Amino acid sequence: MLLSLPTGNMIGLGAIAIGFAAFALISAMVIPRFKPGFPGKGGLKLFIVAAMACTAATLLAVEFLAIEKKEPGGENVPAKTAEK
């Protein structure tokens, strides 16, 4: 299915995926090394909002960018169903 997406949509989905992965890795491995109390009392709300924003961005990207190209010259006709 991924290969049937237009190039721009694949780039958009890839960028969102890389951004979410970068956020997850940085917040899990890099920031705690320099700030052991991360996220702490002051930053917990900001961290939760950022995590929710990344999740929402990923879900919206899949919803709007994971659209296959329509083939010219026909409608999608369902396969024959078994008759009773």
DSSP single-letter state for residue 6: -
**pTM for this model (two decimals):** 0.69
Closest alpha carbon to 70 in 1, 2, 4: 4
Which residues span the domain enclosing 42? 2-65
**Structural domains counted in the chain:** 1
Asked if residue 82 is part of any domain, the answer here is no
List pLDDT tens digits, range 6-38: 778 788 888 999 999 999 999 999 988 998 888
Q: How far apart are the C-alpha atoms of 10 and 21, rounded to whole Å? A: 16
Write out pLDDT tens, residues 30-40. 988 998 888 88
What does the alpha-carbon distance between residue 16 and residue 27 come to, in Å, rounded to a whole number? Answer: 16
Per-residue pLDDT, averaged over 43-48, amounts to: 90
Q: Is residue 71 part of a domain?
A: no
Q: Is residue 41 part of a domain?
A: yes
What does the pLDDT read at residue 81? 66
Residue 77 domain flag: no
User: What is the overall mean pLDDT for the chain?
Assistant: 83
Residue 48 within a domain: yes
